Amino acid sequence: MKLAEVEENMKKTIEATQRSFNTIRTGRANPSLLDRVMVDYYGSETPLKSLANISTPDASTISIQPFDPSSVAAIERAIQLSDVGLTPNNDGSIIRLNIPPLTNDRRKELVKIAAKYAEEGKVAVRNIRRDAVDAIRKQEKASDISEDESRDLQDEVQKVTDKFVSRIDDLLKDKETDIMKV
């Protein structure tokens, strides 16, 4: 396993963690809140963003305009069943989600959710590190590389891992600040 490969996989993990953070609401309307909403559309689970135009007309409203007007009820049901925690208002052709101001207790809950996402990201980074170190040890056992090279490569993998774990910590700090800002 090459170091560049390890870094690329860790970058993907950072991006996935960032996408998870984007699904946490921060008190203002953001279309990415609905990224994880899946709609049962003609018998198959379909992402909401591929069934409707999602926009934010103002800071406290998300507007959802389905491409197929017959899917309004299915979209409304999917939002109600999701973990978004918002009640859809349906006027027949457009669904509106009003984003209420966050209470202090809800902000603290969202910080905990963000911390959970960050921990999942760190675990994924550490799993990549473990796989890389295992591959290095196999190469050493097969006498493809020397013991010193093995140790040096493992140290490099650890440095890369530390860099990405600290980046996840920075992302978490930024998200916490964003959530707690009134």
Per-residue model confidence as pLDDT tens digits over 85-114: 788 998 888 999 988 888 888 889 889 999
Q: What residue spans define the domains of the chain?
A: 3-21+103-180, 28-98
What pLDDT shows up at residue 125?
Answer: 96
Q: CA torsion, points 115, 121, 125, 131, in degrees to nearest 10?
A: 120
Q: Give me the architecture of the 28-98 domain, per CATH.
A: 2-Layer Sandwich (3.30)
Residues of the chain with pLDDT under 50: none
Q: At residue 179, what is the residue type? A: I
Write the class of the CATH domain 3-21+103-180: mainly alpha
pTM: 0.74
What pLDDT shows up at residue 9?
Answer: 94
Burial of 178 (0-12, 13-18, 19+ CB in 10 A): middle
